[in-house]
Every structure is written in structure tokens, then in C-alpha cells.
Amino acid sequence: MNPLRGAWHRTEAVAAQAVVSLAASAPLGAVLGVARLAALVAYLVWWRRRRIAAENIRLAGVRVNKAQARALARASFTAFATMVAESIVARRRLTRDNWQKYVSLHLSEEAEALLRRPGQGLIVASAHLGNWEVAARAISMIKPLLVAYRPFNNPHLNEVARDARQGEHLRFVSRLEAHPMVFMRALADGAIVALMIDQHATRGRIAIQFFDRPAWATKSVAMLSLTTRMPLLVAFAVRTGRMHYEIHASGPIAYARTGDREKDAAAITQAITAEVEKAVRRHPEQYLWGHRRWRR
């Protein structure tokens, strides 16, 4: 690696570690204040991401008017910064005894039963809506949870992020470094495997429609469901107030195999995406719009 790049990577990681340590020990009000300020600065400075977010909002048809789209994009920046801040705080604040003070469950009856059944493996598809980190932490208090994540390019930053995100029964596994059987083994052990479905996928992907526009999504979630036959839920944690969240879960998604692998994977992925879309329409200000979702 280029030595300059290596030095930059280490600097980034040290800065990230300092932010995590400060945020973890500061009062919540102060952390949220800084997060709001950081969101504003990011919105003003990071013009490319700001433009992508506003464009995506208009492409999705969530806001048609340019000014309204920009306002929603700004709210989305704030929601993201708040998500990061509260996730860091949640690491020390949420415990097995008190997590229900901060997070309430709004699950389908079947989803609730599956979640509470000891030894039952579960696949959970989610999206960058609300606070996926707090959702994972809270749910891991009920059932061990393994999250598949897409790593940063900076390996030092990855280490900091992984350490800050993991918990007693909450593990993060890089999609790129994962042992080929890691997800299946976790399911066989009765854990939850959680994967994000709403990012543009460049490989192992399937064509879907998101807000009536063609997009690519990972087919991993669908294939995991098809091959393990474990129940597949779609879940999100929506922010309802300061450090307060509601986890909503639908499913399990029912699907009968046809023998056509790609067709089956597409059908399941589209069904999940439809659930994501419904949730985003309900809470568009909490969605991460800055991602280039409709790349070809």
C-alpha cells in the first residue's frame, strides 16, 4: 500500500476512535447537539452526496418539488448523524435489563413467536432506515445476532467500527472476509443472520424494482432463505424520540421454490424490497438517501 495512504488510513482510524470514545462518555444531549451540527456541516460541504440524496428523493417520487427534496435530504443527513450518535451511546446504555425502556417491539405475531423460540434460526432483511445499529443491539438481547456488513476500504477504520458495533451476542462479519459457511452455521446454531438489502450490488446481484425504477440488489438474502429454509423477516427500527425506537417486523415471507434459482431469488428479493419501500414511504426523513441506489 502507498505509505501516504496507509498514514491517512491510520489517521482516520485514530480520529474515529477518538469520536467514539468521546461520544460514548459524553451526555446524550451534547452528543446529539454535535451530531446535528456535524450533519449540517456535512450537508453544506459534501455537495455531491447532498445532490445524490435530493436526486434520489425526486426519482423515487417521494418529493417532486426541488426545494422539498432538498429539505428532505437535509433531514436525512440529520437522521444519519443522529443514528451514528445514538448507536455509540446505546453501546453503554442498552443492557439486557433495560433495553425495553428504549426500544419497543411491534412484530407480527408469527415473527414474535419465532424470535422468542430458543434455537430457532432466523434471517432478517433490513435497510438503512431509522437506526439499524440500535435495532441489532436490542434484538441481540433476545437472540444472538450476526450482521453481515460491507467493509470500508480502510482496514484500520474497519477495526474501530467493528469493535464499536459488536456486543455480547452481537457479531459483525464482513461480507468479503466471511467464511463460506458462516451464515449457515449461525442459522443452524439458532442465531439471527441480518443483512441489508437496499444497497446497490455489483456482484451476486439480482435485478429488482425500487420505487418503480430498475435497481440491483444482493441476492444473498434470498439465497440464504431458499437454501436453509429458515424463516425470513423484514425489520426496521424507526426513531420515535430521543433515544427511543420502535422495531417493526413483518413476515415470515412465504415462497415456494420453482427450480429456477434466479427467478426464485428475484421474487424473494422483490418481495423484501417492496416491504422496504413501504417503510421508507412512511418515514422518508429517516432513510439514507445519499446512496446511489439506481446505478446500472
Partner 1 sequence: MTNHDTLDILKGLLGRPQPGVKPKIDVAAVTGATRIDEIGLDSLAVMDFVYDVEDRFQIQIEIMDLVALDRVSDLVAYVDAKRAV
- Applying CB under 8 A, which residues contact partner 1? 121, 175, 178-185, 187-188, 203-205, 219-220, 223-224, 226-230, 259, 261-262
Helix or strand (DSSP H, E) at 166: none
CB of 197 to partner 1, least distance (A): 14
Of residues 137, 166, 157, the one with CA closest to residue 19: 157
Half-sphere exposure of 2 (CA within 13 A, CB side): 5
Q: Is the dihedral of CA 128, 134, 137, 143 positive or negative?
A: negative
Return the number of the residue (168 or 262) whose C-beta is nearest partner 1: 262
Return the number of the residue (90 or 272) whose C-beta is nearest partner 1: 272
β-bridge pairing 122-126 and 103-107: unpaired
CB of 4 to partner 1, least distance (A): 31
Return the number of the residue (167 or 190) whose C-beta is nearest partner 1: 190
CB of 224 to partner 1, least distance (A): 6
CB of 232 to partner 1, least distance (A): 13
Amino acid at residue number 154: N
Return the number of the residue (17 or 270) whose C-beta is nearest partner 1: 270
Return the number of the residue (194 or 230) whose C-beta is nearest partner 1: 230
3 state SS of 284: helix
CB of 153 to partner 1, least distance (A): 19
For residues 109 and 2, give the distance between their C-alpha atoms in angstroms, rounded to a whole number: 54
